[in-house]
Structure 1
Amino acid sequence: MSTNSGITTDATTGERYIPSSLRADGSKRREIKVKPGYKPPEDVELYKNRAAAAWKTRGRGGVPGAESVSSEDDKTAQTAASNKNAKRREAKRKTKENEESNSPAEKKGAESENWRVPAPKKEEQPAQDPVDIEADKEKKARNLKKKLRQARDLKEKKSQGEALLPEQLEKVIKIQELVRQLDVLGFDSNGDKKDDSGKENA
């Protein structure tokens, strides 16, 4: 019987030795006798701390004292899960191949056949633009009208002798600019929309 280091014990004499062996070049190694009491590092048994071993394998062992599930059940559970995952991967791969195989022209055809896909709304945009522009103008005019009203209130306070802050004075100075901006948008100095007929009469 040989140990991890290759030392063999003679059954009759009890002597320990390393048996002769062949080298790679074909020459023969001689038998080596081992001194009694010598233990090579390979044969030294490592100290095993049960608490440390239990800590290392704490998640794998399950409940101590409980019967472990048979290995066959584990295998079947693993194979079922792996088969399911393999099927999912295969399905994903097939859908990806189908998407790549479809050319852009085919995709366009499919989209036109599908009545649920909305058609591009290029024609509707010009019709909506005037409405949007008008609404945008009115919104800007409302903001300008509000600023103008605040500036006029501040101007009135100044004329009554109240002291104004520098930013309030800036608002008063900008009254003419606000009136001009309203005029550009088509509104008068009071923020009301100008009438085209009134322009013609004037």
Structure 2
Amino acid sequence: MADTPPRAGQDVEVRLRPSFQGSGQVIGVVILLACSVLFVVGGLADPASPGGVVFLVLGGTGIVAFGAVLLVLLGHLLGRRPLLVLEDGGVRVPARWPMPRSRDRVLPWHEVASVCAWTQGVMTGRGVSHQLAFLPVADSSHAAHTSGAEILRVKTQGMPGVAVLRWNVATLPGWTVKADDVIREVRKRTDVPFEDRRVGLPKKRRVVRKAPPKDA
């Protein structure tokens, strides 16, 4: 499905498209869960032996752990909860499933000091990702949780506001709204300073059309 630019005046909800990668994660967890069940079955064959006890413990632990992971993954795939919402009141970061939506985080626009698009990682290596950070004003209660934001602080150095990981989101390739459209919408809704510090983006091809030949 093609990306649809947001319409003026409406909330912008950014979701993640279903992908082979997400399906592959589910399949991988299902396989691990099945192996855990087999461990339990093997342990039940001789539960009184040391080997049987080990199999039961490992299998039971795997069923609980991988079952919980599978539940969360299925919730993400089937629930289609937004990853980011731009609304009239501010920036909303929905709570991850299965947490209730009452746990959503909301940063009001009047408490946003600046916005920065930046890149995490080294271009010569792997794992490069583009991010979008909303920096709350220094005297805001939303600027209190600054632990773990050392990299973000370096990337947004010189910009107004406080670097807080809670208000930083990764702009994933599978977003239903293109990252550039999200940035344009942010700039429409607030006039705070914005800087695009992303690196390694593909350059747009420049199409040069030849002028029609003049009539002799």
Q: Which has the higher contact order (CA 8 A, sep 6+)?
A: 2
TM-score (norm. length: structure 2): 0.23
Which structure shows the higher helix fraction?
1
TM-score (norm. length: structure 1): 0.24
Which structure shows the higher strand fraction?
2
